[in-house]
Amino acid sequence: MGRPRKCLASLKGYRVAVAVSPEELELLARRAELAQMTLSGYVRLVALGKPLPPFVPARNREASIELSRQVGNLCQLMHAQRYRPAYVHLPKDGYNEVLNVAKEAEAVLLGLRPSRR
C-alpha cells in the first residue's frame, strides 16, 4: 500500500508573477541561498509569513548524516541482542543512554535545539 494521495485543493498548481528590479532579485536570490532554499520556496514562505527553516551548515549536515548511520548500526545491534541473544553480547543498560545522547547530538547539529554548553 502506497502513500495516500493529496487532495486536489492542496496541490500547488497556481503561479503568481511578481515584478522585481534586478537588485531586488539579487537580494532575494542571496537570501534564498543563505536559507538553503529555492527562490520560489523562499518567497512563498516569506510572503505567507511562515518561519524559515533553521540554517544548518554543511559541516553539521554531514556530521548529522554520519551520526544517523551510527544510530542505525546501534539499532541493528539492539535488535540482534533482543532477537538473537546467543550471537550478540552487549551490556543492556547502555543502549538507551547512548541512543538518547546520539539523538540529542543530532538535534543540536541540525539547529533544532541549542547546545547545553
Residue 8 lies in a domain: no
3-class SS string, the chain: CCCCCCCHHHCCCCCCCCCCCHHHHHHHHHHHHHCCCCHHHHHHHHHHCCCCCCCCCHHHHHHHHHHHHHHHHHHHHHHHHHHCCCCCCCCCCCHHHHHHHHHHHHHHHCCCCCCCC
Q: Which residue has the higher pLDDT, 39 or 63?
A: 39
CA atoms within 13 A on the CB side of 27: 5
The answer to whether residue 102 sits within a structural domain is yes
Q: 69 and 103 share a domain?
A: yes
pLDDT in tens, 2-55: 788 877 667 777 888 999 999 999 999 999 998 889 999 999 999 999 999 877
Domain boundary among 34, 53, 72: 53
pLDDT number for residue 58: 73
77 shares a domain with 100: yes
Q: Residue 5 falls within a domain, yes or no?
A: no
- Examine residue 9 and state whether it is found in any structural domain, yes or no: no
Whether residues 63 and 37 fall in one domain? no
What pLDDT, on the 0 to 100 scale, is given for residue 101?
A: 74
Q: Which domain holds residue 43?
A: 17-53
116 lies in a domain? no
Average pLDDT over residues 79-108: 71
The tally of domains found in the chain comes to 2
Which carries the bigger pLDDT value, residue 10 or residue 68? Answer: 68
Instruction: Report the pLDDT value the prediction gives residue 89, as an integer from 0 to 100.
Output: 64
In the predicted model, what is the mean pLDDT of the chain?
Answer: 80
Residue 85, pLDDT above cutoff 90: no
Q: Are residues 71 and 101 in the same domain?
A: yes
Assess whether 73 and 47 both reside in one domain.
no
Tally Cβ neighbours within 10 Å of residue 96: 10
- Mean pLDDT score, 91-105: 71
